[in-house]
Every structure is written in C-alpha cells, then in structure tokens.
Homo-oligomer: A and B are copies of this chain.
Amino acid sequence: MTSFTAINLVKRPEGSVGPELFEVVEKTVPELKDGEFLVRQTHMSLDPAMLGWMSPDRNSYIPPVELGDVMRSSGVGRVVKSRHPDFAEDDQVMGMFGWQELAVTNGQGVNKVDSDLPPEMVLSVFALPGLTATQGLYGEGHPEAGETLVVSGAAGSVGSIVGQLAKADGLRVIGVVGNDEKADWIVNELGFDGAVNYKTDDIGAKLDELAPDGIDMYFENTGGPIQHRVFERMNAHGEIIVCGMIADYTAREPSAGPNWMNIVRKRLTIKGYTMPDHFHKAPELLARLTPYVQEGKIQYRTHVLDGLESAMTGLNLFFTGENKGKLIVKL
C-alpha cells in the first residue's frame, strides 16, 4: 500500500452542495517521523457544521477549509503503524481526519476510544452530536422539569439527543421534523411527547395543540417558518438556544427573523453558541452525558453511506432532510 484516496475542496458552495465542489485525488503514503502515527479511517462523520466550514465569509468561528485542502471532518479509525509513544497499532482513535482513507497525525486532537465501542456509537453520541447537545441544553440553557421544550431538527443527530436528555429530565418535549417517518421515530421510539411535521402540518395550530401552555425553551437547529411560529408562542422568561440554522447555511439571501418586540414583552433570552468555544470542556460534557447513555436513555440511529466518495453527495441530505439518522460514511 503506497497510495490512498483523498477528497479536496476545490470550490465554494453557492446554494447547493455536491460533487462539483470537490476533487478526488490519489496521495502517496508519507514516511512516518518520530512522534507520528498512521490511522486507517473506518468511519467518517458528516455534520451540518461542515457546511459552514466550506464558506469562509459566512463563518467567523473556525477557519474555513482552504481551497485545494482535504475536506475537514471528524472520524473514527484504527492505528496501523505508530512511531508515537502513546498510540499503538490497532488502537481505536477519534479525530479530525478529513475526507481520506489514511491520515498521518502527531496525536494532537486525537483521542483513544474504547476498542469495544461501535464506531457508529462513538460518532453518533460521544463525538460532536452529544457534546453539542449537552453544551446547548445545560451549558447555555436552564431546563427544568415540567417545562415545555420544542426542538427543531428533532430527528437529527443533535436534536434527537437534546430531546432525549430533556425527556429524561422531566420536560415535555415536542420535536419538529420534516416527514412522518421521523415523527413516528421520535414519538414512538424516543418517547417525545409530540411531533410537528413542518412540511405537512399547520405548524402554529399543531404547536397550540401539543404545547397548550406555551413554550419555555426552544432549541433551534433549522431556522425557517418553524422559528417564527415557535417564537410567537414563547412563555415569559423563555429561553431560545440557537445551535444551527440549516435552512440558511448556503442561502444567498438570509430569510427575515422575527420582530424583536416579543423579546421585550416576554423577557426572552436568545443565545447562540458553537462547539469550538467549548471543546476544552469535553471531559465535563462527557461526564454529564455518559450516565444518560449508561441508563439506556439515549438511543441513536445511523444513516450509513458506503465508501469515501459517497460523502460528496451525502452532505446534500441535510438540505433535503432525507437522512434517517446520524450521517456516517463507512470506508
């Protein structure tokens, strides 16, 4: 094995995300220096945040991927060769390995993972989705038993964990999704109290039915009309945690937000956050999250794409909403 396949970003997205933005290249496996090791990636994570990483001027919190560089992503793999004292052959590791079969690393930002944990669970729960859900719900918000929480993108990797954590904490949880299969999953499998299908339901009427006492907390993953209908129904002293705006990531013209009068009337707090500010807190976030997982309260499902090159079309599933669970590329 002297060469491997990688995928570079070569064009900025303008309204859509597909193979036209990328270039598949063959790379030569470099010699390892002292302190380095070689990882064969087995599973790559596709996350909504990656859409931001491709667009430099729309994103200020993390440097964009440079054109011509390997597309950035997190993944799980096995060490195949090591000249690093802390990493041995066959260790399972997690890190930002990018869209490539092999990665050489000095270990910075790479963490060993229990070899018994399925890679799908690592990427679906203990990586970005679980950290993001835990920071958002507990680090930014103040959920309390008996309150009503609405989460958009509720069948997504972050939204589904947010909803399950809140449910375990005794909140009433309403999820907003884009099709009936997802609605069925979050209600009948995850135990949410209700679901709104934003494509077919009258969003406002459905919210009135499912949250008759108003909404105390809104966890925002999507933007769009849902935002306005939820915003109108917020209770006094409500909290809105803004995690993502998938509907606006690549829009040329951002959609209008709600008028701020309700922020005064209801004394709302709206907070935005992104995980790069909080990665240093990963150990405490995992300590908060892990008991819920151990008690069987966090279910997940994956949508596995096959082969490195499937990543190029896979990202588009975030826009169509066709993914059925955490998007993972199996290499």
Does B260 contact A265, Cβ atoms closer than 8 Å? no
Minimum distance in angstroms from A229 CB to a CB of chain B: 14
Does B59 contact A265, Cβ atoms closer than 8 Å? yes
* Residues of A67-106 whose CB lies within 8 A of B: none
Does A260 contact B257, Cβ atoms closer than 8 Å? yes
Does B269 contact A269, Cβ atoms closer than 8 Å? yes
Does A272 contact B277, Cβ atoms closer than 8 Å? no
* Residues of A261-300 whose CB lies within 8 A of B: 261-274, 277
Query: Would you call A184 an interface residue if the criterion is a C-beta within 8 Å of the partner chain's C-beta atoms?
Result: no
Does B245 contact A254, Cβ atoms closer than 8 Å? no
Q: A59-B265, A60-B266, A236-B61 are contacts. A220–B260 as well, Cβ < 8 Å?
A: yes
CA A58 to CA B261, docked complex, whole Å = 9
Q: A61-B236, A236-B60, A256-B256 are contacts. A267–B261 as well, Cβ < 8 Å?
A: no
Minimum distance in angstroms from A234 CB to a CB of chain B: 10
Q: A236-B60, A236-B61, A269-B269 are contacts. A254–B264 as well, Cβ < 8 Å?
A: no
Does B274 contact A267, Cβ atoms closer than 8 Å? yes
Does A260 contact B274, Cβ atoms closer than 8 Å? no
Query: Would you call A227 an interface residue if the criterion is a C-beta within 8 Å of the partner chain's C-beta atoms?
Result: yes
Does A264 contact B242, Cβ atoms closer than 8 Å? yes
Q: A267-B61, A277-B267 are contacts. A257–B256 as well, Cβ < 8 Å?
A: yes
Q: How many copies does the complex hold?
A: 2
* Residue from B58, B254, B264 within 8 A of A274 (CB atoms): B264
CA A269 to CA B271, docked complex, whole Å = 4
Which residues on the B side are within 8 Å of A261 (C-beta)?
Answer: 58, 223, 245, 248-249, 254
Query: Would you call A115 an interface residue if the criterion is a C-beta within 8 Å of the partner chain's C-beta atoms?
Result: no
* Residue from B242, B254, B263, B277 within 8 A of A242 (CB atoms): B263
Which residues on the B side are within 8 Å of A60 (C-beta)?
Answer: 236, 265-266
CA A178 to CA B254, docked complex, whole Å = 28
Which residues on the B side are within 8 Å of A245 (C-beta)?
Answer: 259-261, 264
Which residues on the B side are within 8 Å of A16 (C-beta)?
Answer: none
Query: Would you call A243 an interface residue if the criterion is a C-beta within 8 Å of the partner chain's C-beta atoms?
Result: yes
Query: Would you call A255 an interface residue if the criterion is a C-beta within 8 Å of the partner chain's C-beta atoms?
Result: yes
Which residues on the B side are within 8 Å of A257 (C-beta)?
Answer: 256-260
Residue interface mask A204-225, B partner, CB < 8 A = 1? 0000000000000000100100
Which residue on B lies nearest to A269, using beta carbons? B271
CA A67 to CA B282, docked complex, whole Å = 57
Q: A257-B258, A260-B223 are contacts. A270–B267 as well, Cβ < 8 Å?
A: no
Query: Would you call A119 an interface residue if the criterion is a C-beta within 8 Å of the partner chain's C-beta atoms?
Result: no
Which residue on B lies nearest to A277, using beta carbons? B267
Which residues on the B side are within 8 Å of A244 (C-beta)?
Answer: 264
CA A236 to CA B276, docked complex, whole Å = 13
* Residue from B256, B259, B277 within 8 A of A248 (CB atoms): B259
Q: A269-B271, A270-B269, A271-B269 are contacts. A254–B263 as well, Cβ < 8 Å?
A: no
12 contacts between A and B (CB under 8 A): A58-B265, A61-B266, A242-B260, A245-B260, A248-B260, A249-B261, A254-B259, A257-B259, A263-B272, A265-B272, A268-B271, A268-B272
Minimum-distance CB pairs A-B, first 6: A254-B259, A263-B272, A256-B256, A257-B257, A270-B270, A264-B272
